[in-house]
Amino acid sequence: LLNFIKQDRDLSRITLDAQDVLAHLVQMAFKYLVHCLQSELNNYMPAFLDDPEENSLQRPKIDDVLHTLTGAMSLLRRCRVNAALTIQLFSQL
């Protein structure tokens, strides 16, 4: 939407304030998405340090990390999120 408004000659001139607000909202939404995924992954990161031979049902496993990342990727694909934005999101994780 922001790109569409910026590319339109007539709209771009009369919506400068709205463009700034929309750009800020996009940045905040991205920041919150990164924070949400990081929080979820932080719950599972100890699995990288645990001994895989110890079998505990309570502890997070590597599969939990992979499941979280795969779920995020599937959702981004289903919503047809731009590939560059997807790459940027995963680089933040």
- The answer to whether 57 and 67 have CB atoms below 8 angstroms apart is no
Amino acid occupying residue 77: R
For the segment 27-47, what is each residue's pLDDT rounded down to a tens digit?
999 999 999 999 999 988 887
Amino acid 91: pLDDT = 94
Residues in contact with 43: Cβ distance below 8 Å, sequence separation at least 6, in sequence order:
60, 64
Whose structure tokens read 């991205």? 30
Segments in the chain below pLDDT 70: 50-59
Amino acid 52: pLDDT = 65
Structure tokens at 34: 């990164």
Amino acid 49: pLDDT = 73
- The answer to whether 89 and 30 have CB atoms below 8 angstroms apart is yes
Assessment of whether the complete model's pTM goes beyond 0.75: no
